[in-house]
């Protein structure tokens, strides 16, 4: 097997030798941002959209990245090429830098940039075939006046991890997270959609947590195929009484959900609209992307 590399601050480093500094500010305080990206058939999917979001997150966090977006893009493509990462997951992480102490003014060096490639499967194949069982978790999504969900910040995900642990304790595949008003926002790592009378509905950006790139892609391909997609406030009741439900995310891609809080969604099996959306999404991944 050929040697595998990671990209650390502009340098290719053998995977076995890759380390992060003890005083990396993300390690100490969760002070950083990240993107999960996928490659399909030798092409990176939605690369520029992911990089745009990364640089917006960095700007919102006032992290001054040491390289331009074009240089970051080329580094990521180089790593995929060197590792022959035809199909799989790509992780891009940035942190404020390496220094001890909370105050950013004590930073004595540039931001850190880490890029790696890996295989990642969030759910077993049986859950894609038969659908996820979910619960509504008690862990709430922080309001936007606490943490803007458009920032894909490393520290924010402590909350999602707590929610995932709730789902694990209940022995189910996913947890539905609500905001403080009781509206559905997202699952622990995915956006959520329902289908009712042939119409797809999903929480609007103001309440949906992170506006996922897979979420946006699914909306675009579904509408292009003539399927109506609306953004609307949802409560658990709307999921209980839906005909179908599915989740989207870079790691998950598109996966059906068939039970919430012990209540079957529709027939309790993946539905036809969900199946069609999965097919449209997979076709789109084959037709688009940045070759490396």
Residue 250: C-alpha distances to residues 31, 59, 158, 191, 217 (Å): 22, 22, 19, 10, 11
**CB contact at 8 A, 194 and 260:** no
Residues involved in catalysis? 156
Nearest of 167, 234, 251 to residue 199 by alpha carbon? 234
CB 65 within 8 Å of CB 58: yes
Residue 284: other Cβ atoms inside 10 A: 18
Reference 241, options 191, 198, 201, 196; nearest CA is: 196
Whether residue 195 contacts residue 248, with contact meaning beta carbons closer than 8 Å, is answered with: no
Instruction: Let me know: does 131 contact 8? Beta carbons within 8 Å.
Output: no
């Amino acid at each position: 097997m050929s040697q595998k590399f990671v990209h650390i601050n502009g340098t290719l480093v053998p995977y076995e030798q890759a380390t992060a500094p003890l005083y990396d500010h993300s390690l100490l305080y969760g002070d950083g941002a990240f993107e999960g990206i996928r490659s399909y058939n030798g092409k990176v999917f939605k690369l520029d959209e992911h990089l745009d979001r990364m640089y917006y997150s960095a700007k919102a966090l006032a992290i001054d990245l040491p390289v331009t977006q074009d240089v970051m893009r080329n580094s990521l493509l180089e790593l995929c090429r060197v590792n022959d990462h035809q199909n799989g997951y790509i992780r891009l992480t940035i942190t404020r830098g390496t220094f001890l102490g909370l105050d950013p003014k004590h930073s004595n060096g540039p931001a850190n940039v880490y890029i790696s490639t890996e295989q990642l499967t969030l759910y077993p194949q049986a859950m894609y075939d038969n659908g996820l069982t979910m619960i509504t978790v008690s862990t709430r999504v922080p309001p936007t006046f606490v943490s803007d969900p458009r920032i894909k910040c490393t520290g924010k995900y402590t909350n999602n991890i707590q929610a995932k642990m709730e789902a694990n304790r209940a022995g189910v595949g996913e947890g539905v997270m609500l905001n403080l008003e009781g509206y559905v926002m997202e699952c622990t790592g995915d956006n959520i959609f329902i289908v009712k009378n042939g119409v797809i509905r999903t929480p609007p950006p103001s309440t949906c947590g992170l506006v996922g790139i897979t979420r946006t892609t699914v909306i675009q391909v579904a509408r292009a195929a003539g399927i109506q997609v609306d953004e609307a406030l949802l409560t658990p009741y709307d999921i209980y009484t839906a005909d179908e439900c599915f989740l989207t995310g870079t790691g998950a891609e598109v996966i059906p959900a068939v039970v919430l809080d012990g209540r079957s969604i529709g027939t309790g099996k993946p539905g036809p609209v969900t199946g069609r959306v999965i097919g449209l999404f997979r076709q789109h991944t084959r037709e688009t992307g940045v070759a490396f």
